[in-house]
């Protein structure tokens, strides 16, 4: 909620501008991936391990589900339901952590199969794109845990409303970017 | 004036720079089409984001103005 005389809450505006720079980062990575891929005679290159499409598909659903729980946390702050807000924030953090754990297990398996960043453009672009997104999810989970600790101590849900809204914007961005990356890197 | 002449001289003396060796050395219509597509994306995306931000702020300003008018007419 904006203060008296304020058109937009300054934290939200700052996050929107920040997300603009983040969108450009991912647009650059996607552009590089598309150009490199178009220039390759065969994609994925022969001899490279195939990416786990099914597991990551399920993981995508987990991440999409976290957008729903984050939205519910935001609704709970408007309804002054502190316990519900804490519960939904915890659920979001748990889903984000689960996503990261599955991604970590996937990376470990791929490294075990010999897919290293130094093994070629295929691996380098995969680790650059998926790794960048993973770092963003990790940052979002850490932010969410800090927010959760504050929400736990807060006397009312309204006290955390601004922080939850800013965090929600970032979380929704991170979730919205992933299906695009998944479709490009895993499915195409 | 001197700065302008120096800048012009440096610009004329410089050899062409190719930002992306992958795009520059690439051959074939697919790569060219992809290059143009991604070039368009990278050009239009920031403009689109700025436009969206301006429209959003404009909408908020109009909503705030309407709320003020409704408040003053009630008073």
Q: What is the DSSP string of A3-51?
A: PTT-SS-HHHHHHHHHHHHHHHHHHHHHHHHHHHHHHSSSSSPTTSPPP
Judging contacts by C-beta atoms under 8 Å, the chain B residues touching residue A30 are 38, 41
Q: What are phi and psi of A155, to 5 degrees?
A: -85, -25
Whether residue B31 contacts residue B20, with contact meaning beta carbons closer than 8 Å, is answered with no
- Give tens-digit pLDDT for A13-67: 999 999 999 999 999 999 989 988 888 888 888 888 889 999 999 999 999 999 9
pLDDT at position B18: 63
Are residues A23 and B49, on separate chains, in Cβ contact within 8 Å?
A: yes
Q: Is B45 on the interface with A (CB under 8 A)?
A: yes
pLDDT at position A112: 92
Least confident residue range of A46-60, A142-156, B20-34, B40-54:
B20-34
Residue B21 has pLDDT above 60, yes or no: no
Are residues B45 and A24, on separate chains, in Cβ contact within 8 Å?
A: yes
Q: Is B57 on the interface with A (CB under 8 A)?
A: yes
Q: Is B22 on the interface with A (CB under 8 A)?
A: yes
Judging contacts by C-beta atoms under 8 Å, the chain A residues touching residue B43 are none
Are residues A38 and B31, on separate chains, in Cβ contact within 8 Å?
A: yes
Q: Is B47 on the interface with A (CB under 8 A)?
A: no
Q: Is A149 on the interface with B (CB under 8 A)?
A: no
Measure in Å the smallest separation between the Cα of B49 and chain A Cα atoms.
7
Kindly identify which residue of chain B lies nearest to residue A14, measuring between CA atoms: B53
- Give tens-digit pLDDT for A93-106: 999 999 999 999 99
Residue A1 has pLDDT above 60, yes or no: no
Whether residue A152 contacts residue A74, with contact meaning beta carbons closer than 8 Å, is answered with no
- Give tens-digit pLDDT for A76-90: 998 888 899 999 999
Tokens 């995306």: give the residue. B45
Residues A10-187: name the CATH superfamily.
Cytochrome c oxidase, subunit III, four-helix bundle (1.20.120.80)
Mean pLDDT of B41-66: 91
Whole-prediction pTM? 0.83
Q: What are the residue ranges spanned by the domains of chain A?
A: 10-187
Are residues A38 and B30, on separate chains, in Cβ contact within 8 Å?
A: yes
Q: What are the residue ranges spanned by the domains of chain B?
A: 17-74
Judging contacts by C-beta atoms under 8 Å, the chain A residues touching residue B26 are 35, 38-39
Considering Cα of A104, then A171, then A29, then A52, what sign does the dihedral take?
A: positive
**Cα R_g (chain B), whole angstroms:** 24
Residue B14 has pLDDT above 90, yes or no: no
Are residues B34 and A38, on separate chains, in Cβ contact within 8 Å?
A: yes
pLDDT at position A107: 94
Whether omega before A44 lies within 30 degrees of 0, making that bond cis, reads yes
Tokens in use for A20? 């603009």
Over chain A, what is the mean pLDDT?
92
Q: With bands split at pLDDT 50, 70 and 90, how would you rate the model's confidence at A124?
A: very high
Are residues A39 and B41, on separate chains, in Cβ contact within 8 Å?
A: no
**Cα R_g (chain A), whole angstroms:** 19
Cα(A27)–Cα(A152) distance, integer angstroms: 37
Tokens in use for B36? 């143009």
Residue count (chain B): 75
Measure in Å the smallest separation between the Cα of A91 and chain B Cα atoms.
30
């Amino acid at each position: 909620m904006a203060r008296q005389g304020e058109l937009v809450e300054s934290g939200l505006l700052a996050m929107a501008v920040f997300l603009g720079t983040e969108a450009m980062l991912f647009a650059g990575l996607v552009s590089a991936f598309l150009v490199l891929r178009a220039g390759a005679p065969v994609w994925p290159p022969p001899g490279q391990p195939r990416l786990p499409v099914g597991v990551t598909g399920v993981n995508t659903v987990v991440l999409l589900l976290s957008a729903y729980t984050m939205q519910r946390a935001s609704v709970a702050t408007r309804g002054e339901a502190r316990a519900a807000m804490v519960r939904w924030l915890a659920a979001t953090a748990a889903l984000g952590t689960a996503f990261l754990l599955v991604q970590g297990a996937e990376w470990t398996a791929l490294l075990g199969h010999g897919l290293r960043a130094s093994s070629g453009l295929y691996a380098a672009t995969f680790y650059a794109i998926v790794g960048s997104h993973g770092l963003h999810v990790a940052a979002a989970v850490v932010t969410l845990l800090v927010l959760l600790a504050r929400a736990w101590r807060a006397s009312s849900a309204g006290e955390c409303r601004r922080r939850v809204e800013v965090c929600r914007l970032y979380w929704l961005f991170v979730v919205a970017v992933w299906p695009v990356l998944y479709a490009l890197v895993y499915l195409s | 004036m001197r700065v302008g002449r120096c800048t012009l001289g440096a610009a004329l003396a410089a050899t062409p720079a190719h930002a992306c060796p992958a795009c520059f050395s690439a051959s074939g219509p697919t790569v060219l089409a992809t290059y143009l597509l991604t070039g368009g994306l990278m050009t239009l995306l920031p403009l689109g984001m700025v436009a969206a931000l301006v429209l959003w702020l404009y909408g908020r300003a109009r909503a705030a103005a309407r709320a003020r008018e409704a408040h003053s007419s009630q008073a």
